[in-house]
Amino acid sequence: MDRRIEKRRWPPKRIALLAVLTVGPAVMLWGILTQGTGRALRVNAERLRISTVERGPFREFVSVLGTVIPIRTHYLDVIEGGRIEAVYRDAGSLVEAGDEILKLTNTNLLLDIMVREAELVQQSNNLRNTQIVMEQNRLQMQREILEINHEISVQRRAKERCAALAEENLVSREEHEAAHETLRYLLEKRALALATQRQDSLFRAEQIQQLQGSLARMESNLALVRRNLENLVVRAPVSGQLTALHAEIGQSKSRGERLGQIDVLEGFKLRASVGEHYITRITEGQPASLTFENETYPLLIDKVYPEVIQGRFELDLHFAEAEPPGVRRGQTLHVRLELGELTEATYVANGNYQQETGGRWVYALDASGRVARRREVSLGRQNTRYCEVLAGLEPGERIITSSYRGFNEADRLILNP
């Protein structure tokens, strides 16, 4: 016998459809209320580096590479050019002040010395001849004055006789006046001769002085050229180590060319290269330090070179105390330059995130640690490990300090465990 089948009011399909229509919007509403709006991105938490914002003592410093160099270095330059004839020392050898290092030859310099010597001899002969001529002229002038004085004496006696005879009318008036005029002529002639003698004497003295000065200059120039001849033998100016020598026998070197250098073995210093944006914050006497074989050695900035080359400038540092044992010339060490005093500040670890954001924003984790939201921040001073937080973060908060590459500047990150 047939049985009546009653129709169900809530079939499974209807129940499933109703569940989707009610539960789906509820889940979306819960996500909006709990996680906010904006673009979200799911990331693997294991690939992230998370750091905590801290509060405590903070000092700004920058780490640079310093090269160990001797405290003093003397360069060997060619004073007088020539061809290298002999090399007496090799690079790396120890030398004492005055030791011969190499010898050059210069034929043109030898010819120049010969020409200058010949000119000096000729000038010396000219001076001697001039002095002889002047002495002869002086003697001739004195002879003339002597003769004039004799004529004056004779004429004065003749005038006196004419005067006596004229009183007795034994000579004519014309003869008496002629004797008087002759005496006056001879007196004027003597005065002129004496004036000429004085003038010639002054002229001779000045001319001899000029010739002697010219001769002295020629002798000085010749002595200088002879010293240049001595400079063809290059000697060590100081005692030390000949760390570089660029010279081969037969090689030609021009004046002023660099031959090598001698390092004075009295100690070492460091030369470091720093970015140009620090040039206004680094001065002489500023402290620094380095760590060598687990020991820290204090340094002081000795000299700051103002010239900026390719965005960097150089500075020299000397050890404030004992030098590290075992350091060698040319060795590279990490130097920490202190740029400020130790102060209380809020800071967070450095990371690759600064390169992507420029330090303007970060991803800060919420209390659950499951969601990181983008937040505007302001960062200040830095050192090799931390950067100062000026605004946007509080001590105890956590941020993502690894690279933000691939996040596409999402508004929030959902961290998958």
Shared-domain flag, residues 77 and 166: no
Q: Say which residue the tokens 């690079």 belong to.
A: 91
Question: What would the pLDDT profile of 373-408 be if each residue is shown by its tens digit?
Answer: 999 999 888 877 888 899 989 999 999 999 888 887
Q: CA 255 to CA 242: how far, in whole Å?
A: 21
Q: Percent of the chain scored above 70 by pLDDT?
A: 90
Rounded Cα–Cα distance for residues 13 and 25 (Å): 19
Q: What is the pTM assigned to this prediction? A: 0.51
Predicted local confidence at residue 11, as pLDDT: 60
Among residues of the chain, what percentage have pLDDT more than 90?
14
Q: Count the Cβ atoms, other than its own, within 10 Å of residue 336.
A: 19
| Total of domains in the chain | 4
Stretch 338-355: mean pLDDT, rounded?
85
Query: In 149-307, where do the E strands start and end?
Result: 233-235, 240-245, 252-253, 258-275, 287-292, 295-304
Specify the pLDDT at position 33.
41
97/239 same-domain check: yes
Q: CA 306 → CA 73, 269, 276, distances in Å?
A: 20, 19, 10
Query: Is residue 16 in some structural domain?
Result: no
Q: Which of 4-18, 58-72, 161-175, 264-278 has the lowest mean pLDDT?
A: 4-18
Q: Are residues 212 and 138 in the same domain?
A: yes
360 and 213 in one domain?
no
Helix (H, G, I), strand (E, B) or coil at 168: coil
> Quick one: 315 and 333 in the same domain?
yes
d(Cα 410, Cα 273) in Å, to the nearest integer?
A: 39
The dihedral through the CA atoms of 38, 43, 45, 47 has a sign that is: negative
Residues 113-120 have a mean pLDDT of: 79
Same domain? For 98 and 238 the reply is: yes
Do both 112 and 226 map to the same domain? Answer: yes
What is the pLDDT averaged over residues 302-309? 90
CB 263 within 8 A of CB 329: yes
Range with the poorest average pLDDT among 92-101, 128-137, 139-148, 370-379: 128-137
Q: Is the same domain home to 144 and 196?
A: yes
Are both 122 and 222 inside the same structural domain? Answer: yes
Name the least confident of 69-83, 207-221, 293-307, 315-329: 207-221
Instruction: Look at residues 306, 323, 338 and tell me which one is the last residue of a structural domain.
Output: 338
Gap between the Cα atoms of 155 and 399, Å rounded: 130
363 and 322, same structural domain? no
Confidence check: pLDDT of 32 > 60:
no
Answer whether residue 327 is part of any domain: yes
Helix axes 173-230, 107-167, angle to 10 degrees: 170
Domain interval for residue 354: 38-58+344-416
Domain shared by 194 and 131, yes or no: yes
Residue 346 pLDDT grade (very low, low, confident, very high; cuts 50, 70, 90) = very high
Average pLDDT of the segment spanning 27-50: 68
Same domain, 93 and 117: no
- CATH value at residue 392: 2.40.420.20
What is the per-residue pLDDT for 10?
55
Q: What is the pLDDT of residue 121?
A: 79
- 343's enclosing H/E stretch is strand 343-349
Signed CA dihedral, 335, 340, 342, 347: sign only? negative
Question: Which of 338, 356, 380 is the C-terminal boundary of a domain?
Answer: 338
CB of 78 closer than 8 Å to CB of 257: yes
What is the CATH number for 240?
2.40.50.100
The pLDDT tens digits for 81-102 are 889 899 998 888 889 998 999 9
At 323, which CATH number?
A: 2.40.30.170
Are 335 and 75 in contact by the 8 Å Cβ rule? The answer is no
21 assigned to some structural domain: no
In total, the chain counts a number of residues equal to 417
Burial class (CB in 10 A: 0-12, 13-18, 19+), 383: buried
Residue 15 placed within a domain: no
